[in-house]
Amino acid sequence: KIINISNSFIASINQQALHFNFKMTSSNNSFVAIFSLLLFSTMQCHAQLSSTFYDRTCPNALTTIRTTIRQAISSERRMAASLIRLHFHDCFVQGCDASLLLDETPTIVSEKTALPNLGSVRGFGIIEDAKREVEKTCPGVVSCADILAVAARDASSLVGGPSWTVKLGRRDSTTASHTLAETDLPGPFDPLSRLISGFANKGLSTRDMVALSGSHSIGQAQCFLFRDRIYSNGTDIDAGFASTRRRQCPQEDQNGNLAPLDLVTPNQLDNNYFKNLRQRKGLLQSDQVLLSGGSTDSIVTEYSNNPRTFASDFAAAMIKMGDISPLTGQNGIIRTVCGAIN
């Protein structure tokens, strides 16, 4: 990619060249070659993601990915939530580098087996399907990390949520971090302070955090993740709502029983999630703490009253999340299969 260099940076280079007053000897030509290489390396390190990254190298990439995602969501509406979650869980570990997709090997401890992902993160096969289709026309060009980002955007728009322009140019990691997956991903029992600090550590604001939490307008959660809440008899949960949820989540066993995060519009990405919170009907504890007398109350109220504001902020937050520590330039690789290193 062509990178624009600021005039001040060019001026600085020129001043240094004049200061040393180099003559065009063979040795000086060698210096110029080395200097040019260093300059190119600097430019590569500051490479930026771009929405037009594949316009020439794989112009049909986004259409091909969208076709696969549409087919998957048509078959199972819940897959939209799973694909958004995949992108989120990938970016929050060691950046948006598709490390989450790597399978276990003798040299890789997979993030898939980390507690926040084990038995709950899904949709890997859909990403592999999209990758396989893209490889047919553009082998070795489109990264799995970019497919994840595009899939999340398409998943949102296909279930009534916002769309946005995805920035592209990420490359795939050759490593995974099981340890970071255990520590950096927000949990369903986290207090508000931990949620805020966890997102801040990734460069996301409190407002970004609340907007991204709105993805819980779709998808489902397993019984063991909300059992304590619905049997707590707490003041922060509607009694009728708790009673309804107990029917499919007994006090013992049936840990994997699923319940929709939003009972009203479970397959529509909308602002009803925030309306639920105002009625004390957040399924997870980490949902309801967003409206618990703290700093996020006003944001929840705003989103519940204004669906357009929520949609706009959600899209902006997803773009910001996609910017977390991407591998660009010569860093990383383009995996042929998303679950394995080439």
- Annotated binding site for Ca(2+): which residue ranges? 90, 93, 95, 97, 99, 111, 262, 265, 270
Candidates 93, 89, 68; CA nearest to 79 is 68
SS3 297: helix
At residue 231, φ and ψ (nearest 5 deg) are -110, 10
**Rounded to 5°, angle at Cα 49 from 43 and 54:** 110
The CA-atom distances, in angstroms, between 283 and each of 204, 233, 301 are 24, 14, 18
At residue 37, φ and ψ (nearest 5 deg) are -65, -40
Q: What are the binding residues for heme b?
A: 216
Name 308's Cβ contacts closer than 8 Å, sequence gap at least 6. Answer: none
Beta bridge partners of residue 172, listed in sequence order: 333
The one catalytic residue in 19, 46, 87, 89 is 89
CB atoms < 10 A from the CB of 244, how many? 14
Give the dihedral of Cα atoms 315, 319, 321, 325; nearest 10 deg: 180
Would residue 46 show up in a list of annotated catalytic residues for this protein? Answer: no
Sign of the Cα pseudo-torsion (235, 240, 242, 246, in order): positive
Strand locations in the chain, DSSP E? 220-222, 258-260
| Angstrom distance (rounded) from CA 80 to CA 69 | 8
Q: What are the binding residues?
A: 90, 93, 95, 97, 99, 111, 186, 216, 262, 265, 270
| Angstrom distance (rounded) from CA 32 to CA 24 | 10
Beta bridge partners of residue 171, listed in sequence order: 327
Q: Which residues are catalytic?
A: 89
